[in-house]
Chain A
């Protein structure tokens, strides 16, 4: 079954304690991205990756890091989490840009992160 898998689904952590949210896709997609969803703001892109070892910043990259060492995995790293990073996070993957429908077609189920 084609899917994007995120772990963990729920996480409560303390300020400053490094954490990693994993994301894996089984569709051999080149493009992957991370979003955060906040009430009244919709989804905002954090980082995206066009292919292995190729990443770039989205709209809200501050406080986050990513890596793309393998095609299937795109972990999101919070080196020193702060309360304003409390949010719902989604990983997504898609067909290559330029190929219809040219969008994030598959989303993970989300990771609800609370930083206290």
Chain B
């Protein structure tokens, strides 16, 4: 089955790095994604990684994928107040099936 799990809350000081973790269960997943949801808004695709990659960097964002442990993480460098949001991990199980985690609420404190 497809189960995506992530911790529900993360508090981080402005300027520090944030690390959001996610575990997934379906080893056949082709792509894994991180979405950001700001208050009152829909989801915004932040970044994604193909399953044959270990790492992907995109400006302040670094995605790490450990296929053996089925563990995905998102690191945000130099966290800013604008990074306060809910972050969802998701896996593509097949062409028409996307499974989401419950979301991690990130709070950035001054």
Residues of chain A touching chain B, judged by Cβ–Cβ distance below 8 Å, are 4, 31, 35, 40-45, 48, 50, 56, 90, 92, 97-98, 100-105, 107-110
Contacts and interface: CB of A to CB of B under 8 A. Distances in A.
Given A42-B88, A48-B96, A101 B44 contact: no
Nearest to A98: B95
Secondary structure at the A interface, as helix, strand, loop or mixed, is strand
8 contacts: A31-B96, A42-B101, A45-B98, A50-B96, A100-B31, A100-B50, A104-B43, A107-B43
Interface of B: 4, 8, 30-31, 33, 40-45, 48, 50, 88, 90, 92, 95-98, 100-103
Contact of A4 (B31, B42, B100, B103): B42
Given A107-B43, A110-B41, A102 B102 contact: no
Contacts of A40: 8, 102
Contact of A43 (B45, B95, B96, B100): B100
B31 A103 contact: yes
A98 B97 CA distance: 12
B102 A101 contact: no
B45 A102 contact: no
Contacts of A104: 43, 45, 98
A41 B101 CA distance: 7
A103 B41 contact: no
A42 B100 contact: yes
B90 A103 contact: yes
